[in-house]
Amino acid sequence: MQALTLKKVHKRFAQVTAVDFLSLQVEEGWIYGLLGPNGAGKTTTIRMILNIIQPDQGHIFLWGEKGAAFTDRVGYLPEERGLYRKMKVLDLLVFLASIKGMRASQTRAEALRWLAKFELDAWCQRKVEELSKGMQQQVQFIACVLHHPDLVILDEPFTGLDPVNTSRLKDVVLELNAQGTTVILSTHQMEQVERLCSHICLINRGQKVLDGRLSEIKNEYGQNTVRLEFDGPKTFLNTSPLIEKMDLYGQYVELRLKPAADPQELLRTAVQRTFVRKFEIVEPSLNDIFIEKVSLADGDERPE
Amino acid sequence: MSKTTTVIKREYLERLKKKSFLLGTLLGPLLMAGLIIVPGLLVTVSTGKQWRISVVDQTGQIYPQLQTALSDTLKDGQPRYVLEVVAITAGQMDATRRALSQQVARDRISAYLIVGPGALSTGEADFYAKNVGDFTAIDRIESALTQIVVENRLNQEGLDPERIKKLTQGVRLRTMKVGKRGERESGFGQVYLETMVFVMILYMTILLYGVAVMRGVIEDKSTRVVEVLLSSMRSTQLMAGKILGLGGVGVTQYLIWIAFGLGLSTFGAAYLGLGQIIRAISPSTFFYFLLFYLLGYFLYATLYAGVGAICSTEQDAQQVQFPIIFLLMLPLMLSAPIIKNPDSGLAIVLSLIPFFSPMLMFLRMNLVTPPLGQILASIFLLSLSIFLMIWLVAKIFRVGLLIYGKRATLPEIVRWIKAS
């Protein structure tokens, strides 16, 4: 079943079109990456999904129903975090769960269990403002999943977390997903998307640029990306007719070959000119796909 | 539990837990009473200052009598008026006056009095002082002079002042207020005090809790909690929850005060000797007090919720809330003429205007018994405007909550209202 469906959703603010006839589907059980550059319309889309604002045109369905019928089954971690600073952590969690329709008596034990999972149980009677920023963020994550939502929308969940907490949060997300929770992840951290998401949707200027299963998207981009590690002059890279695009990194270069180019030919050239230490045909990174798609789309618009 | 109830409960409990609630509940009425009574006391209780007065008596008769008449003493037993006669020779009047004025300027004396040669027939006398604002002292001197002059004239006509005084004994009018519970003795001062304490409490609490609603909305916006809240409920539920929750805190505070007030009315007179002040307040006064608080609160809290929604910081809000504070203060400023004449056309009209009626209708009801029709009309108009205001503000609220970082302009607000 589709947890979420957007059909030709359109939203304008005064002079700006924020979301431009966007359609997408999210099946139950997916981890869905909602990607896009700053100002692409991600937050507006999420707000419309949550019924915080209404689209001017088009429809949004949660489990096949329009409107606010099922927003209680959704958990939301907004990008701009915020909690009542003067409230005690446990009271706040109980409050946020009960506005999602949970009973206070059930929630208390559940909240403590979650706090223990994040090693925050000692803080449950402290005021929110006494917690560090990272801790507050984890409390907010708990608030977003405490009411057993079937769909969780996480907007930049990893920013500001240290590697240990990032890893724990990632595990928790995977765990929830394994239990059947659908996840929509909006982030700029492409490594996280590659690690977590089964499907992605890339939007730019309110329009969908790319949509589908992550592995298929990568396949579509073909096997023409080469990672090359070598000692010697780099000049031959600039003159080679095989290379469409190159990214220099400290220890290696990543090369995108032209569609018909043969990687073996590149290897031969490289061996002639330099001492090759490593030659690898790799999948294109999502980072590259993102940059390419977005700059391509922007390029299309530029002549106007 | 419904979402609105959940919000109400949070707003109510979080506020109640604050120390400021306890403090406000305990100190509020004391402060109010203090604000009203102290200036009153300052005016009525004569200042404990000694007057050193030089008297230029051109009649040569008045000074000794004046000295006898002005024999008041201060609290410490010192004479309040220390008189000193100054002699002049005719023709040197101006020089004498200049010299005396200099003495006043140097604070050697506090004032000087020039009793003209014809004072006994024309009653002319001039009083010179740095401070001519001490009415009690000046009235006292004037009446002493009057008495002396009148007695002199009567003596000249061969009449006995004592007898005349007896025969012309005037009427001392005692004022009683007729209320539902019968008559009671009450003067302007008492009614004024009692009424103003109530009206000031109304003003302060409506302002306090209205501002609390505004602050709450701004807090929701600035901490971005509003995103999570709005993903769980409609903006109208949030608005209702906030207004009702804080309104509940206000009602709690009022009930505590009223219980205290009724307790004092019942037992205070017997045990504390406060009967004169306390007995006067009837339970129905308390009822209307609470009713008008609630109605006023709903009207102003809704306005304040709107202000919170269009502002992002409290600094923004300071400016935007000014018209509201003005609306709230206007009845206070108008209360003096209305207390004097609570049944005038102006008073009736003003007390029917919804923004003023919480305070002004209540004020009038304390002084006179306005026709029931007027009371009901004010309650009706007030309720109607509350509903209108909620309807209007809800539209602003929905859009404004998600606009961070800048204050909405008037055209924008108009567009929001039109759009929804």
Please report, for residues B66, B336, B353, B357, B376, the alpha-carbon distance to residue B350 in angstroms, rounded to integers and kept in the order given.
50, 13, 5, 7, 15
Q: Determine the pLDDT at residue B386.
A: 92
Residue of A nearest to B225 (CA): A82
Q: Determine the pLDDT at residue B298.
A: 94
Element (H, E) at B211: helix B188-222
Binary contact (A76, B3; C-beta < 8 A): no
Residue of B nearest to A76 (CA): B228
- Rounded to the nearest integer, the mean pLDDT of chain A is 85
Q: Does B227 touch chain A (CB under 8 A)?
A: yes
Does domain A2-218 sit in CATH 3.40.50.300?
Answer: yes
Return phi, psi of residue A19, to 5°. Answer: -130, 125
Q: Which domains does chain B have, with CATH numbers?
A: 3-41+187-419 (no CATH), 51-167 (3.40.190.10)
Q: Does B229 touch chain A (CB under 8 A)?
A: yes
Residues 91-130 in A contacting B (C-alpha not used; CB under 8 Å): 95-96, 98-101, 103-104
Is the alpha carbon torsion for B184, B188, B189, B194 positive or negative?
A: positive
Binary contact (A84, B223; C-beta < 8 A): yes
For residue B186, with 0-12 CB atoms within 10 Å meaning exposed, 13-18 middle and 19 or more buried, which class applies?
A: middle
List CB contacts (< 8 A) between B227 and chain A.
47, 52, 76, 78, 80, 82
Question: Which residues touch A50 (CB under 8 Å, ≥6 apart)?
Answer: A71, A74, A76, A153, B230, B231
User: Cα(first)–Cα(last) distance of chain A, in Å?
Assistant: 41
Element (H, E) at B398: helix B372-400
Q: Determine the pLDDT at residue A303.
A: 38
Whether ipTM > 0.90 holds is no
Whether residue B187 is predicted with pLDDT greater than 60 in this model: the reply is no
Among the partner residues B1, B10, B225, nearest to A82 by beta-carbon distance: B225
List CB contacts (< 8 A) between A104 and chain B.
1
Q: Note the pLDDT tens digit of each residue in B234-245.
A: 888 888 899 999
Q: Which residues of B192-224 are buried (b: 16+ CB within 10 A; e: fewer)?
A: bbbbbbbbbbbbbbbbbbbbbbbebbbbbbbbb
- A265 in Cβ contact with A241 (< 8 Å): no
Location of structure tokens 């120390």? B19
Highest-pLDDT range among B121-130, B165-174, B184-193, B399-408: B121-130
Q: Does B66 touch chain A (CB under 8 A)?
A: no
Ranges of residues in chain A with a pLDDT under 50 are: 301-304
Residue of A nearest to B216 (CA): A84
CA distance linking residue A155 with residue A139, whole number of Å: 15
Q: What is the mean pLDDT of residues B348-364?
A: 89
Q: Which of A52, A94, A185, A69 is nearest to B231 (CA)?
A: A52
Lowest mean pLDDT among A76-80, B327-331, B351-355, B408-412: B408-412
Q: Does A199 touch chain B (CB under 8 A)?
A: no
Beta strand B111-115 with A182-186: parallel, antiparallel or unpaired? unpaired
Q: Does B406 touch chain A (CB under 8 A)?
A: no
Please report, for residues A158, B119, B150, the alpha-carbon distance to residue B145 in angstroms, rounded to integers and kept in the order given.
90, 10, 8
Q: Determine the pLDDT at residue A302.
A: 41
Q: Note the pLDDT tens digit of each residue in B243-295.
A: 999 999 989 988 888 887 777 666 655 554 444 444 456 778 888 888 999 99
pLDDT band at B175 (very low <50, low <70, confident <90, very high): low
Whether residue B176 is predicted with pLDDT greater than 70 in this model: the reply is no
Q: Determine the pLDDT at residue B281.
A: 65
List CB contacts (< 8 A) between A71 and chain B.
231-232
Could you tell me the residue ranges of all domains in chain A? Answer: 2-218, 223-282
Binary contact (B232, A99; C-beta < 8 A): yes
Q: Note the pLDDT tens digit of each residue in A140-162.
A: 999 999 988 999 999 988 888 88
Q: Note the pLDDT tens digit of each residue in A212-249.
A: 888 888 877 767 788 888 887 777 777 778 887 888 88
Q: Does A207 touch chain B (CB under 8 A)?
A: no
CA distance linking residue A190 with residue A288, whole number of Å: 10
Location of structure tokens 């025969």? B167
- Rounded to 5°, the CA angle B144-B149-B151 comes to 95
Residues 23-82 in A contacting B (C-alpha not used; CB under 8 Å): 47, 50-53, 68, 71-72, 74, 76, 78, 80-82
Q: Determine the pLDDT at residue B228.
A: 87
Q: Determine the pLDDT at residue B102.
A: 86
CA distance linking residue B192 with residue A25, whole number of Å: 71
pLDDT band at B18 (very low <50, low <70, confident <90, very high): confident
Q: Does A84 touch chain B (CB under 8 A)?
A: yes
CA distance linking residue B89 with residue B110, whole number of Å: 23
Distance from CA of B225 to the nearest CA of A (A): 5
| CATH for the A223-282 domain, from 1.10.10, 3.30.40, 3.40.50, 3.30.70 | 3.30.70
- A174 in Cβ contact with A145 (< 8 Å): no
CA distance linking residue A216 with residue A234, whole number of Å: 33
Question: What 3 state SS string does B125-180 have?
Answer: EEEEECCCCCHHHHHHHHHHHHHHHHHHHHHHCCCCHHHHHHHCCCCCCCCEEEEC
Residue of B nearest to A77 (CA): B228
Greater confidence (B34 vs B228) lies with: B228
Among the partner residues B6, B225, B402, nearest to A84 by beta-carbon distance: B225
Return phi, psi of residue A242, to 5°. Answer: -85, -20
CA distance linking residue B161 with residue B148, whole number of Å: 10
List CB contacts (< 8 A) between A100 and chain B.
232
